[in-house]
Amino acid sequence: MRLEDYFDFLTPDDIRLRGHRIGIETILFDYLDGLTPEEIALRYPTLTLEEVYATITYYWRNQAPIDAYLKALEAYDARMLREQELSPSPAARRLRELVQARHEAARCSGPRDATA
């Protein structure tokens, strides 16, 4: 089996493990954060240890383009987070209002007397 056979190259910015909906970035971010392949396989029980090792091996054989791939994904995630913060959905806005109202209510009620 060729190493590339472990993956589905859906688009240049979407590489997933074949048979899964998980992107290689999920495994690689954990690996680059210091998790061992065994810890990663335990974290994602639908993946085999072989698939985790294949992803890491693919990374080391293609480090420069995969580093660029990961950097582009991080930039995209940061951009989407900024957009969401600037223009939240109506549901997100409502949740923020509810959280703020709860905090204000707690602040107004003051500390409770545990002896009462």
CB 14 within 8 A of CB 23: yes
CB 20 within 8 A of CB 29: no
Percentage of the residues of the chain whose pLDDT score is greater than 70: 94
Residue 113 clears pLDDT 80, i.e. is over it: no
pLDDT band at 7 (very low <50, low <70, confident <90, very high): very high
What is the DSSP code (8-state) at residue 90?
H
pLDDT score at 73? 94
For residues 83 and 74, what is the distance between their CA atoms, to the nearest angstrom? 14
Domains of the chain in sequence order: 3-108 (1.10.10.10)
pLDDT (tens digit per residue) in 74-90: 999 999 999 888 888 88
pLDDT score at 110? 66
